[in-house]
Structure 1
Amino acid sequence: MSTEAFTTEQVAALKAPLDRKHVKARSQAGRSLSYVEGWHAIAEANRIFGFDGWDRETLELRECGEPRQMGDKWRVAFMCRVRIRVRPRNQLDLAWSIVRDGTGYGSGIDKDLGQAYESAVKEAETDAMKRGLMTFGNPFGLALYDKDQANVVDVPAGPPPMSVDHMLHEIGACSDDEAMRRLKADPSFRAGYKAADELSRKRIEQALAKAAEEAAA
């Protein structure tokens, strides 16, 4: 088993500051709270760990008290515990994973009791997932737990770098030299190659060479 769980590329992504444009704010108990949205946390997990490199499991979903009527609406609340499993790329043992748990809360208010339940369950599960992912680094909201938010920055606009897995997939999908030229000129592809570590660059270059041979055959 490798002594380093993550690739250099993954470590750099986990340590990178959180882009301020992904930070949202909401008012709660008279205070303004900063957070990242659930879809963004999932997108970052897919980007950094790979689509097949992580998963989540709901361990517990518990209703907090009985539904309450508020005028013509119902209010329900749930607590949830979610387990995040990440399978690092550097590990030879495919069964090995890093496990983190998160606990979250969600409430739902709606005239329809079923809709209130649905909203509360979704919010609780998403909140728990984000808390579990947060422990991996800034891109998942860890930077927001620092009162000074020193690692929340304005990132200059530019194309998002492709992940190594995405680059290899796109190379394999190229059917001819023209498609290969377009891919290599893609700003996201170039940014991904620049951000990749030495081992990943060799994999990319080998894939490019193989694709060029097949196109010429």
Structure 2
Amino acid sequence: MFDKKQLEILNQELDSSRIKTRDKGNISLSYIEGHDVIETANKIFGFGNWSYSISKLEHVSQEQNQNQNQVICYKAIVQVLVHSENHTQELSREDVGFGTGVAKTQADAHEGAAKEAVTDALKRAMRSFGNQFGNSLYDKTKNHQANNESKPTTNYRQSSPTPTVTNVTTNHNRNIKQSYDPYEYESLFKIGLDVVEQNGFLIVSGDDIFAKKDSIKACGFRWDGKTKTWYKQLEEGAA
């Protein structure tokens, strides 16, 4: 399917100059930009030898933040097709992405959320092709660097050994490494919520957590009426 030169490039380490970072919800996220992914695909696979299509684009939630801005979340599913040079073979990859638009008007918030969801899904689908599309950024054993500066360590507070808790608080002196990908919950960070790891579970903390239920449910969390918490079990092998 891929020639020797393409395989060599795909397996190379990701150039640190392509890695960007941004802070969300008191954590630092490492990522590569959408236009970078498209340019890299053009260089490795060639113009006309790959394409992507939007399989699904869904509006999943709408909130209003403390600044009276509209906060709208979208979910997208994107399929990527990569062809061999003579178009006799093809590989298909598909993944889901989430996007959040924050703006004064609903129209602008919808536009931002939809575009971000599609870009996120595209990047997640492309990462299955290797390091050049950011797959190595998901390897927690590697200390990635962005712009020649060390990536800050993202950490979460752990609780006593009980699966559900009350009065969840966030420790901003984080010194325990997280065992999941925080980028998946960026939509929650944008509406002022946080995600705390506690004994194999993820717990949502912050103000008005029930009022923001649509955004929380869209990320796969469930409501525990007894303890008044949103929770989600960590996948096995995530740590």
TM-score (norm 2): 0.58
Unpaired segments ≥5 residues, structure 1: 156-217
Q: Measured at CA, do residues 153 and 116 of structure 1 come closer, stay the same or move farther in structure 2, by a change above 3 Å?
A: closer
Q: Which of 89, 94, 102 lines up with 1:96 in the alignment?
A: 89
Structure 1 contact 81–104 (Cα < 8 Å) conserved? yes
Larger helix percent: 1
Q: Which of 109, 113, 118 lines up with 1:125 in the alignment?
A: 118
One-letter code aligned to 1:85 = L
How many equivalent pairs are there? 147
Structure 1 contact 137–143 (Cα < 8 Å) conserved? yes
Q: Measured at CA, do residues 20 and 143 of structure 1 come closer, stay the same or move farther in structure 2, by a change above 3 Å?
A: same
User: 1:157-196, aligned counterparts within 5 Å?
Assistant: none
Q: Measured at CA, do residues 152 and 99 of structure 1 come closer, stay the same or move farther in structure 2, by a change above 3 Å?
A: farther
Partner of 1:40: 36
4+ residue runs of structure 1 moved beyond 6 angstroms?
A: 150-155
1:7 correspondence with 2:3: yes
Other structure's SS at 2:119 match: helix
Q: Measured at CA, do residues 30 and 72 of structure 1 come closer, stay the same or move farther in structure 2, by a change above 3 Å?
A: closer
Partner of 1:144: 137
Q: Distance in 1 between matches of 2:2 and 2:99?
A: 32
| C-alpha distance after superposition, 1:114-139 (max 9, x if no partner) | 11111000000000000000000111
Partner of 1:87: 83
Partner of 1:197: none
Partner of 1:165: none
Q: Measured at CA, do residues 33 and 95 of structure 1 come closer, stay the same or move farther in structure 2, by a change above 3 Å?
A: same
One-letter code aligned to 1:68 = E
Q: Distance in 2 between matches of 1:126 and 1:153?
A: 20
Structure 2 contact 16–144 (Cα < 8 Å) conserved? no
Q: Distance in 2 between matches of 1:63 and 1:37?
A: 23
Q: Distance in 2 between matches of 1:22 and 1:53?
A: 23
| C-alpha distance after superposition, 1:15-63 (max 9, x if no partner) | 1110001001122332211100000000000000001110001001111
1:68 correspondence with 2:63: yes
- Once the 2 structures are TM-superposed, how far is the Cα of residue 153 of structure 1 from its aligned partner? 9.4
Q: Distance in 1 between matches of 2:112 and 2:53?
A: 19
- Once the 2 structures are TM-superposed, how far is the Cα of residue 72 of structure 1 from its aligned partner? 3.3
Q: Which of 65, 86, 104 lines up with 1:111 in the alignment?
A: 104
1:24 correspondence with 2:17: no
Other structure's SS at 1:82 match: strand
Percent of counterpart pairs with the same letter? Answer: 34
Unpaired segments ≥5 residues, structure 2: 149-239
Other structure's SS at 1:64 match: strand
